[in-house]
Amino acid sequence: MSTMLSLKNRPVVRFDVSKPEHRQIFFTFLKTNSWIHSPYRFYLEDGYLDLPSQMYQWIATYYLGNEFDPVKAKKKTVKRTKAHE
């Protein structure tokens, strides 16, 4: 099967920054400058000019939100065990 045909058979999905697999696919793209290793075709949301820029912005927002959002920070607290009591 040619590369062009295999590209068309990949499912089109929305990039989900919360999925480690999607982040890994983007990281591989950054290293190779190619989507050939991706099992998906991500679509571009309205308001963005290109897919990598969209992904960069979403990843930055995701990680900064996890680090600085007080609600999410509370969820990261260590659960107390009997050893801590």
pLDDT per residue as tens digits for the range 23-79: 999 999 999 999 999 999 999 999 999 999 999 999 999 999 988 876 765 555 445
Pick the residue with more confidence: 78 or 12?
Answer: 12
Residue 37 lies inside a defined structural domain of this protein: yes
Q: How many domains does the chain have?
A: 1
Residue 82 lies inside a defined structural domain of this protein: no
Range of the domain at 26: 3-70
List helix spans (H) across 10-85.
Answer: 20-32, 51-68, 70-75
- Name the strand (E) or helix (H) holding 42: strand 41-42
Residue 57 lies inside a defined structural domain of this protein: yes
pLDDT at 68 (0 to 100)? 86
Report residue 85's pLDDT band, with 50, 70 and 90 as the boundaries: very low
Residue 83 lies inside a defined structural domain of this protein: no
Average pLDDT over residues 11-26: 97
Q: Tokens 């982040």: give the residue.
A: 23
pLDDT at 6 (0 to 100)? 55
Q: At what angle do helices 20-32 and 51-68 cross, to 10 degrees?
A: 130
Residue 49 lies inside a defined structural domain of this protein: yes
Residue 56 lies inside a defined structural domain of this protein: yes
